[in-house]
Amino acid sequence: MTIDIALWLAQDAVTNGAVYVLLAIALVLVYTVTRVIFVPQGEFISFAALSLATLQDGKLPGTVYLLVGGGILVAIVDVIAAIRDKTMHRLPRILIVNVALPFLVAALAWWTAPQTNSLLLQILVTFAIITPLGPIVYRLAFQPIANASILVLLIIAVAVHYVLTGMGLVFFGGEGLRSRPFLDITFPVGVLNVSAQSLWIVFTSLALIAALWFVFERTLYGKALRATAINRIGARLVGIPARFSGQLSFTLAAFIGAASGILISPTTTIYYDTGFIISLKGFVGAIIGGMTSYPLAALGSIFVGFLESYSSFWASAFKESIVFTLVIPVLLWRSLTSPHVEEDEEQ
Protein backbone atom coordinates (compact mmCIF):
# COMPACT_ATOMS: atom_id res chain seq x y z
CA MET A 1 0.00 0.00 0.00
CA THR A 2 1.40 3.36 -0.99
CA ILE A 3 0.86 6.58 0.94
CA ASP A 4 -1.44 7.78 -1.86
CA ILE A 5 -3.74 4.80 -1.49
CA ALA A 6 -3.71 5.09 2.30
CA LEU A 7 -4.79 8.73 1.99
CA TRP A 8 -7.53 7.89 -0.51
CA LEU A 9 -8.84 5.20 1.82
CA ALA A 10 -8.70 7.57 4.79
CA GLN A 11 -10.73 10.12 2.88
CA ASP A 12 -13.31 7.46 2.02
CA ALA A 13 -13.35 6.31 5.65
CA VAL A 14 -14.00 9.80 6.98
CA THR A 15 -16.84 10.39 4.51
CA ASN A 16 -18.58 7.11 5.33
CA GLY A 17 -17.74 7.41 9.02
CA ALA A 18 -19.42 10.83 9.16
CA VAL A 19 -22.71 9.26 8.11
CA TYR A 20 -22.31 6.41 10.60
CA VAL A 21 -21.68 8.99 13.35
CA LEU A 22 -25.03 10.64 12.61
CA LEU A 23 -26.82 7.31 12.73
CA ALA A 24 -25.07 6.20 15.90
CA ILE A 25 -26.08 9.45 17.58
CA ALA A 26 -29.71 8.97 16.54
CA LEU A 27 -29.69 5.38 17.83
CA VAL A 28 -28.15 6.38 21.16
CA LEU A 29 -30.63 9.25 21.51
CA VAL A 30 -33.69 7.06 20.91
CA TYR A 31 -32.34 4.25 23.09
CA THR A 32 -31.45 6.37 26.11
CA VAL A 33 -34.76 8.27 26.06
CA THR A 34 -37.22 5.52 25.18
CA ARG A 35 -35.18 2.27 25.59
CA VAL A 36 -36.12 1.36 22.00
CA ILE A 37 -33.29 -0.15 19.93
CA PHE A 38 -34.46 1.64 16.84
CA VAL A 39 -33.95 -0.88 14.03
CA PRO A 40 -36.06 1.12 11.51
CA GLN A 41 -33.65 4.10 11.67
CA GLY A 42 -32.23 2.91 8.33
CA GLU A 43 -35.62 3.19 6.63
CA PHE A 44 -35.52 6.98 7.10
CA ILE A 45 -32.24 7.00 5.13
CA SER A 46 -33.68 4.96 2.26
CA PHE A 47 -36.97 6.87 2.27
CA ALA A 48 -35.24 10.26 2.23
CA ALA A 49 -32.72 9.31 -0.47
CA LEU A 50 -35.33 7.66 -2.68
CA SER A 51 -37.89 10.45 -2.15
CA LEU A 52 -35.30 13.01 -3.22
CA ALA A 53 -34.35 10.98 -6.30
CA THR A 54 -38.04 10.50 -7.18
CA LEU A 55 -38.71 14.23 -6.84
CA GLN A 56 -35.76 14.89 -9.15
CA ASP A 57 -37.43 12.59 -11.69
CA GLY A 58 -40.43 14.91 -11.53
CA LYS A 59 -42.61 12.32 -9.80
CA LEU A 60 -44.47 12.33 -6.48
CA PRO A 61 -42.71 9.97 -4.03
CA GLY A 62 -44.86 7.26 -2.42
CA THR A 63 -43.71 8.33 1.05
CA VAL A 64 -46.25 11.17 0.76
CA TYR A 65 -49.06 8.60 1.02
CA LEU A 66 -47.34 7.08 4.05
CA LEU A 67 -47.22 10.52 5.68
CA VAL A 68 -50.87 11.32 4.99
CA GLY A 69 -52.09 7.81 5.87
CA GLY A 70 -49.98 7.70 9.03
CA GLY A 71 -51.23 11.15 10.06
CA ILE A 72 -54.84 10.08 9.64
CA LEU A 73 -54.22 6.92 11.69
CA VAL A 74 -52.64 8.98 14.47
CA ALA A 75 -55.61 11.38 14.35
CA ILE A 76 -58.07 8.49 14.70
CA VAL A 77 -56.17 7.04 17.68
CA ASP A 78 -55.90 10.46 19.34
CA VAL A 79 -59.52 11.41 18.69
CA ILE A 80 -60.72 8.16 20.27
CA ALA A 81 -58.47 8.83 23.27
CA ALA A 82 -59.77 12.41 23.55
CA ILE A 83 -63.39 11.27 23.43
CA ARG A 84 -62.69 8.62 26.07
CA ASP A 85 -60.99 11.19 28.34
CA LYS A 86 -63.75 13.71 27.60
CA THR A 87 -61.17 16.31 26.55
CA MET A 88 -62.91 17.56 23.43
CA HIS A 89 -60.99 20.83 23.40
CA ARG A 90 -57.98 18.85 22.11
CA LEU A 91 -59.79 17.86 18.91
CA PRO A 92 -58.97 20.90 16.71
CA ARG A 93 -55.28 20.67 17.53
CA ILE A 94 -55.19 16.92 16.83
CA LEU A 95 -56.83 17.39 13.45
CA ILE A 96 -54.64 20.32 12.43
CA VAL A 97 -51.35 18.66 13.38
CA ASN A 98 -52.10 15.15 12.12
CA VAL A 99 -54.36 15.70 9.13
CA ALA A 100 -54.08 19.26 7.86
CA LEU A 101 -50.28 19.51 8.08
CA PRO A 102 -49.57 16.23 6.24
CA PHE A 103 -52.00 17.26 3.50
CA LEU A 104 -50.20 20.60 3.28
CA VAL A 105 -46.84 18.81 2.89
CA ALA A 106 -48.38 16.49 0.29
CA ALA A 107 -49.67 19.49 -1.67
CA LEU A 108 -46.25 21.11 -1.44
CA ALA A 109 -44.59 17.91 -2.72
CA TRP A 110 -47.11 17.66 -5.55
CA TRP A 111 -46.35 21.26 -6.49
CA THR A 112 -42.58 20.74 -6.22
CA ALA A 113 -42.41 17.50 -8.21
CA PRO A 114 -42.55 19.06 -11.70
CA GLN A 115 -39.91 21.69 -10.78
CA THR A 116 -37.03 19.33 -11.31
CA ASN A 117 -34.36 22.02 -11.14
CA SER A 118 -34.92 23.45 -7.70
CA LEU A 119 -32.60 21.32 -5.55
CA LEU A 120 -33.11 23.36 -2.38
CA LEU A 121 -36.89 23.04 -2.61
CA GLN A 122 -36.60 19.29 -3.21
CA ILE A 123 -34.42 18.88 -0.14
CA LEU A 124 -36.80 20.92 2.03
CA VAL A 125 -39.80 18.91 0.84
CA THR A 126 -37.92 15.66 1.53
CA PHE A 127 -37.25 16.82 5.09
CA ALA A 128 -40.91 17.82 5.45
CA ILE A 129 -42.06 14.38 4.31
CA ILE A 130 -39.61 12.22 6.27
CA THR A 131 -39.21 14.04 9.62
CA PRO A 132 -42.90 13.73 10.70
CA LEU A 133 -42.70 9.96 10.07
CA GLY A 134 -40.64 9.72 13.28
CA PRO A 135 -43.38 10.90 15.68
CA ILE A 136 -46.00 9.02 13.65
CA VAL A 137 -44.07 5.76 14.10
CA TYR A 138 -43.66 6.53 17.80
CA ARG A 139 -47.35 7.33 18.32
CA LEU A 140 -48.61 4.23 16.52
CA ALA A 141 -46.04 1.58 17.43
CA PHE A 142 -44.23 2.56 20.62
CA GLN A 143 -46.26 5.00 22.72
CA PRO A 144 -48.99 2.45 23.58
CA ILE A 145 -46.33 0.09 25.00
CA ALA A 146 -43.83 2.65 26.26
CA ASN A 147 -43.41 0.78 29.55
CA ALA A 148 -42.84 -2.67 28.07
CA SER A 149 -39.50 -4.45 28.51
CA ILE A 150 -36.54 -3.69 26.23
CA LEU A 151 -37.03 -7.05 24.53
CA VAL A 152 -40.68 -6.34 23.64
CA LEU A 153 -39.71 -2.89 22.35
CA LEU A 154 -36.96 -4.48 20.24
CA ILE A 155 -39.38 -7.02 18.75
CA ILE A 156 -41.82 -4.22 17.87
CA ALA A 157 -38.92 -2.24 16.35
CA VAL A 158 -38.04 -5.22 14.11
CA ALA A 159 -41.69 -5.52 13.09
CA VAL A 160 -41.84 -1.81 12.23
CA HIS A 161 -38.64 -2.26 10.19
CA TYR A 162 -40.24 -5.02 8.09
CA VAL A 163 -43.45 -3.04 7.58
CA LEU A 164 -41.54 0.05 6.42
CA THR A 165 -39.18 -1.96 4.17
CA GLY A 166 -42.18 -3.59 2.52
CA MET A 167 -43.75 -0.18 1.94
CA GLY A 168 -40.46 1.07 0.50
CA LEU A 169 -40.57 -1.73 -2.07
CA VAL A 170 -44.13 -0.78 -3.03
CA PHE A 171 -43.31 2.94 -3.25
CA PHE A 172 -39.97 2.81 -5.06
CA GLY A 173 -39.71 -0.63 -6.72
CA GLY A 174 -36.85 -3.07 -6.47
CA GLU A 175 -34.23 -1.18 -8.45
CA GLY A 176 -31.95 1.42 -6.93
CA LEU A 177 -31.93 5.17 -7.51
CA ARG A 178 -29.28 7.83 -7.27
CA SER A 179 -29.89 11.55 -7.02
CA ARG A 180 -27.90 14.31 -8.66
CA PRO A 181 -24.89 15.74 -6.77
CA PHE A 182 -25.42 19.10 -5.06
CA LEU A 183 -22.25 20.48 -6.63
CA ASP A 184 -20.46 18.47 -9.28
CA ILE A 185 -16.93 19.70 -8.64
CA THR A 186 -13.77 18.28 -7.08
CA PHE A 187 -10.87 20.03 -5.37
CA PRO A 188 -7.34 18.69 -5.79
CA VAL A 189 -5.70 18.45 -2.37
CA GLY A 190 -2.20 16.99 -2.69
CA VAL A 191 -2.64 13.59 -4.30
CA LEU A 192 -6.33 13.53 -3.47
CA ASN A 193 -9.34 14.72 -5.40
CA VAL A 194 -11.81 15.77 -2.77
CA SER A 195 -15.34 15.90 -4.13
CA ALA A 196 -17.66 18.69 -3.04
CA GLN A 197 -20.18 16.06 -2.00
CA SER A 198 -17.84 14.44 0.52
CA LEU A 199 -17.11 17.87 2.00
CA TRP A 200 -20.87 18.42 2.26
CA ILE A 201 -21.22 15.15 4.13
CA VAL A 202 -18.43 15.84 6.61
CA PHE A 203 -19.37 19.46 7.29
CA THR A 204 -23.09 18.80 7.57
CA SER A 205 -22.36 16.01 10.04
CA LEU A 206 -20.16 18.33 12.08
CA ALA A 207 -22.80 21.06 11.98
CA LEU A 208 -25.52 18.64 13.06
CA ILE A 209 -23.38 17.37 15.93
CA ALA A 210 -22.76 20.95 17.06
CA ALA A 211 -26.47 21.74 16.79
CA LEU A 212 -27.37 18.67 18.83
CA TRP A 213 -24.81 19.61 21.45
CA PHE A 214 -26.38 23.07 21.62
CA VAL A 215 -29.88 21.60 21.95
CA PHE A 216 -28.87 19.25 24.76
CA GLU A 217 -26.78 21.76 26.70
CA ARG A 218 -28.59 25.03 26.18
CA THR A 219 -32.29 24.48 25.51
CA LEU A 220 -35.12 23.41 27.78
CA TYR A 221 -36.28 20.68 25.37
CA GLY A 222 -32.78 19.23 25.18
CA LYS A 223 -32.44 19.27 28.94
CA ALA A 224 -35.82 17.53 29.23
CA LEU A 225 -34.54 14.78 26.94
CA ARG A 226 -31.35 14.43 28.97
CA ALA A 227 -33.34 14.27 32.17
CA THR A 228 -35.54 11.49 30.76
CA ALA A 229 -32.45 9.62 29.62
CA ILE A 230 -30.86 9.80 33.05
CA ASN A 231 -33.94 8.89 35.09
CA ARG A 232 -37.36 8.47 33.54
CA ILE A 233 -39.35 8.30 36.76
CA GLY A 234 -37.51 11.30 38.16
CA ALA A 235 -38.15 13.26 34.98
CA ARG A 236 -41.83 12.45 35.16
CA LEU A 237 -41.96 13.59 38.78
CA VAL A 238 -40.61 16.99 37.83
CA GLY A 239 -43.17 17.33 35.05
CA ILE A 240 -41.55 16.00 31.88
CA PRO A 241 -44.07 13.65 30.25
CA ALA A 242 -42.50 10.45 28.85
CA ARG A 243 -44.76 10.77 25.80
CA PHE A 244 -43.31 14.16 24.98
CA SER A 245 -39.67 13.03 25.30
CA GLY A 246 -40.43 9.98 23.18
CA GLN A 247 -41.99 12.03 20.41
CA LEU A 248 -39.17 14.54 20.45
CA SER A 249 -36.45 11.88 20.30
CA PHE A 250 -38.16 10.09 17.40
CA THR A 251 -38.57 13.40 15.55
CA LEU A 252 -34.85 14.12 15.96
CA ALA A 253 -33.99 10.57 14.86
CA ALA A 254 -36.13 10.88 11.74
CA PHE A 255 -34.60 14.28 11.00
CA ILE A 256 -31.06 12.88 11.34
CA GLY A 257 -32.03 9.89 9.20
CA ALA A 258 -33.44 12.17 6.51
CA ALA A 259 -30.29 14.30 6.59
CA SER A 260 -28.04 11.23 6.21
CA GLY A 261 -30.17 9.92 3.35
CA ILE A 262 -30.10 13.21 1.49
CA LEU A 263 -26.33 13.51 1.99
CA ILE A 264 -25.39 10.07 0.67
CA SER A 265 -27.97 9.76 -2.12
CA PRO A 266 -25.72 11.42 -4.74
CA THR A 267 -22.69 9.28 -3.81
CA THR A 268 -24.16 5.78 -4.02
CA THR A 269 -27.08 3.80 -5.38
CA ILE A 270 -29.78 3.49 -2.74
CA TYR A 271 -32.27 0.63 -2.76
CA TYR A 272 -35.48 0.31 -0.75
CA ASP A 273 -33.60 -1.90 1.72
CA THR A 274 -30.13 -0.28 1.72
CA GLY A 275 -30.77 1.89 4.77
CA PHE A 276 -30.91 -1.12 7.06
CA ILE A 277 -27.30 -2.18 6.32
CA ILE A 278 -26.05 1.40 6.65
CA SER A 279 -27.79 1.86 9.99
CA LEU A 280 -26.43 -1.50 11.17
CA LYS A 281 -22.95 -0.05 10.76
CA GLY A 282 -24.00 2.99 12.76
CA PHE A 283 -25.34 0.50 15.28
CA VAL A 284 -21.92 -1.17 15.55
CA GLY A 285 -20.50 2.29 16.27
CA ALA A 286 -23.17 2.90 18.90
CA ILE A 287 -22.44 -0.46 20.55
CA ILE A 288 -18.77 0.44 20.81
CA GLY A 289 -20.06 3.43 22.80
CA GLY A 290 -22.18 1.13 24.96
CA MET A 291 -25.40 2.61 23.48
CA THR A 292 -25.23 5.38 26.07
CA SER A 293 -22.29 7.67 25.30
CA TYR A 294 -22.45 10.11 22.38
CA PRO A 295 -18.70 10.82 22.07
CA LEU A 296 -17.80 7.12 22.31
CA ALA A 297 -20.48 6.25 19.76
CA ALA A 298 -19.08 8.89 17.41
CA LEU A 299 -15.53 7.61 17.83
CA GLY A 300 -16.76 4.04 17.35
CA SER A 301 -18.52 5.03 14.11
CA ILE A 302 -15.43 6.72 12.71
CA PHE A 303 -13.51 3.56 13.61
CA VAL A 304 -16.11 1.48 11.71
CA GLY A 305 -15.61 3.78 8.71
CA PHE A 306 -11.84 3.21 8.77
CA LEU A 307 -12.17 -0.53 9.33
CA GLU A 308 -14.60 -0.79 6.43
CA SER A 309 -12.49 1.27 4.06
CA TYR A 310 -9.20 -0.51 4.72
CA SER A 311 -10.71 -3.99 4.80
CA SER A 312 -12.40 -3.30 1.46
CA PHE A 313 -8.89 -2.76 0.10
CA TRP A 314 -7.20 -5.73 1.76
CA ALA A 315 -9.96 -8.35 1.79
CA SER A 316 -13.05 -7.07 0.04
CA ALA A 317 -14.84 -10.43 0.14
CA PHE A 318 -14.76 -10.40 3.94
CA LYS A 319 -15.43 -6.71 4.49
CA GLU A 320 -18.92 -7.06 5.99
CA SER A 321 -17.82 -10.01 8.12
CA ILE A 322 -14.90 -8.01 9.48
CA VAL A 323 -17.08 -4.99 10.34
CA PHE A 324 -19.84 -6.98 12.00
CA THR A 325 -17.50 -9.39 13.80
CA LEU A 326 -16.19 -6.33 15.59
CA VAL A 327 -19.35 -6.42 17.72
CA ILE A 328 -18.31 -9.65 19.45
CA PRO A 329 -15.04 -8.55 21.13
CA VAL A 330 -16.61 -5.19 22.00
CA LEU A 331 -19.61 -6.83 23.66
CA LEU A 332 -17.34 -9.32 25.47
CA TRP A 333 -15.14 -6.54 26.75
CA ARG A 334 -18.10 -4.41 27.81
CA SER A 335 -19.94 -7.20 29.58
CA LEU A 336 -16.75 -8.10 31.46
CA THR A 337 -15.87 -4.55 32.50
CA SER A 338 -19.20 -2.81 33.09
CA PRO A 339 -21.33 -3.77 36.09
CA HIS A 340 -24.48 -5.72 35.34
CA VAL A 341 -27.58 -3.55 35.72
CA GLU A 342 -30.97 -5.15 36.18
CA GLU A 343 -33.53 -3.62 33.89
CA ASP A 344 -35.48 -1.34 36.16
CA GLU A 345 -39.05 -2.49 36.54
CA GLU A 346 -41.56 0.30 36.66
CA GLN A 347 -44.92 0.43 38.33
Enumerate binding residues for another protein (CB under 8 A): 2, 5, 8-9, 12, 15-16, 19, 166, 169, 173-178, 264, 267-269, 271-274, 276-278, 309-314, 316-317, 319-320
Nearer to another protein, 103 or 324 (CB): 324
According to DSSP, the residues that pair with 188 across neighbouring strands are: 193
Nearer to another protein, 23 or 225 (CB): 23
Nearer to another protein, 147 or 325 (CB): 325
CB of 296 to another protein, least distance (A): 23
CB of 11 to another protein, least distance (A): 8
Nearer to another protein, 12 or 43 (CB): 12
Cβ-contact 32, 313 below 8 angstroms = no
CB of 265 to another protein, least distance (A): 10
Taking alpha carbons only, the member of 328, 288, 326, 332 closest to residue 307 is: 326
Nearer to another protein, 5 or 183 (CB): 5
Cα–Cα–Cα angle for 328, 201, 259, nearest 5°?
85
CB of 4 to another protein, least distance (A): 9
Q: d(Cα 326, Cα 157) in Å, to the nearest integer?
A: 23
CB of 242 to another protein, least distance (A): 35
Strands (E), the chain: 186-189, 192-195
Cβ-contact 40, 134 below 8 angstroms = no
Q: What is the largest CA-CA distance in the chain?
A: 72
Taking alpha carbons only, the member of 268, 257, 43 closest to residue 176 is: 268
